Amino acid sequence: MTDNKKTFIHADDETLIMLIGNARQRLVFIAPGVRKTVAQALASSMDVVPVEAIHLVVDADPEVCRLGYGSLNGLELLQFAAGQHNLVLNNHPGIRIGLLIADEATLIYSPTPLLIEGGSQTPNKPNAVILDAQLPQALADACAAGERQGAKLEVGRDVVDAGKLDAVKRDLLERPPKKFNVARVERVFNSMLHYVELRIEDYKLTSRSLALDAKLFGVTNPEVVRRLRNRYTLFADTESLNVEIESLDADGKANPKKTKEKFGPRSIDEERQRIKKRFILEAGDYGLIILRKDVEEFEKQINALRSKIEAYKKAVQTEIARRTDEIVIELLAALKDALKANPPEHWRSRYMGETPADADIERLFQEEIRAEVKRVNTDFNPRVFHAFKDVTYKTFKDEKFRKLLEVRFGKDAIDRIFSEHDAAPEE
């Protein structure tokens, strides 16, 4: 309820209903949406206030209902009542301010989106200004409350007709609003916690190998050739390729004043574990959890690791190129005599003599595996992937999930989080 001695007040639906009920000479209602009780008060006032002195404006957008500025039943009721009194309910897309003019009282207020916050009931938390003095002419003209009856109308030029209302109903049927207490719990809780996914892929070197054509080994049977897979690994299982990379600062930029550092697959594993231990809670079947307040620093460190891995990738590709050159020489030495004695059939049109010379063997073998060498050189492409996802309300209510968080953050913190938001009121 209002306190007429104050200019800054707290206005809620009860305040609106009281002022609307006092209207006798003029009534202007402008807001994003309207809830059922306020719509009923407006409908009743239409029996008292002259039709020509009433101007009603809303934002006939389904998102208004999903945000909790109003409800579909309130919109339907108001549109029906307006039609019964030969009035129109007007539409102004995107309006987010509230204005109520009831005779000499002018209330300018901030409508509450119930999806985001429950309306305060505390008088010392004002969301409105109420004026009982003469209505400024400019404001009267802008909302069709002046003598010139809409000559300078700024809001509500379009009509909410049956077609527009049906479109809103269809949209809300397809994507209905959530119960606002649940949505606010999700919003506040998700502002504290996220699921996080973190993967580092394709950085192990022991899997890198050259695929060799079976025909190079004298296999001629087409079925055997088709089924036989020959691979030559570039690095032994026990090899861990460490290379030197530029030392990087926390922002991922090279620092020439620092000495180079050794970096390899083990370095990546250790850095990933350090970041996970610092920022991430492993919540069993629920996945990985991170505090929202840590997200910025987490991403900063992930990006620094990504920069190191990129520098490592470039150095390793150089090393792979060198190693594949060595392997080609090793293989050629091992296969040279066999290839000369029994060259692959598809080579026979590529040399001049009855048998290939050593230079022919070397040239044709190099051509044979050149594409494979190129593939291996470019195939090493380690990637860091991370993504965030909101914690669902169902998980939020799960007792096992709460226990996990209690172990991580302490009972007092968990009691505060859950009790504070479980009590959010429902419309």
Distance, in Å, from the CA atom of 155 to the CA atom of 153, rounded to the nearest integer, reads: 6
Written as six digits, the tokens of 123 are 């008088």
Bridge partner residues of 99 (DSSP): 30, 108
Q: How many residues does the chain have?
A: 427
Q: Measured between alpha carbons, how far is 224 from 205 in angstroms, rounded to an integer?
A: 29
Alpha helices in 342-423 (DSSP H): 358-379, 393-397, 399-409, 411-422
Beta strand 27-30 with 54-58: parallel, antiparallel or unpaired?
A: parallel
> How do the pLDDT tens digits run along the chain, 427 residues long?
444 578 899 889 999 999 999 999 999 999 999 999 999 999 999 999 999 899 999 999 988 888 888 899 999 999 999 999 999 999 999 999 999 999 989 999 999 887 666 655 556 678 899 988 777 777 877 777 655 555 577 777 778 878 888 888 887 777 777 666 666 666 666 667 888 999 998 887 666 677 777 777 766 667 665 666 677 776 665 455 778 888 877 766 777 778 888 888 889 999 999 999 999 988 888 889 898 889 999 999 999 999 999 988 888 878 777 777 787 788 888 888 888 888 888 888 888 888 889 899 888 888 877 767 667 666 678 899 999 988 877 787 788 888 888 888 887 777 666 655 554 444 3
Please state the separation of Cα 10 from the chain's center in Å: 35
Buried b / exposed e along 53-76 (16+ C-beta atoms within 10 A): bbbbbbbbbbbbbbbbbbbbebbe
- Asked if residue 46 lies in contact with residue 72, where contact means CB atoms within 8 angstroms, the answer is no
SS3 helix, strand, coil % of the chain, rounded to 5? 50, 15, 35
Burial environment of residue 117 by CB neighbours within 10 A (0 to 12, 13 to 18, 19 or more) = middle
Strand partners, 58: 91
Q: What pTM was computed for the model?
A: 0.54
Its sign, for the CA torsion 166, 170, 175, 181, is: positive
Radius of gyration of the chain (CA): 37
Are 171 and 63 in contact, with CB atoms under 8 Å apart?
no
Q: What is the pLDDT of residue 320?
A: 74
Backbone angles phi, psi at 188, to 5 degrees: -70, -40
Extended strands (E) in 132-260: 158-159, 193-201, 209-212, 230-233, 243-245
Distance from C-alpha of 309 to C-alpha of 303, rounded to nearest angstrom = 10
Give the SS3 label for residue 248: strand
Contact (Cβ atoms closer than 8 angstroms) between residue 129 and residue 7:
yes
C-alpha distances (whole Å) from 106 to each of 21, 134, 139 are 14, 9, 10
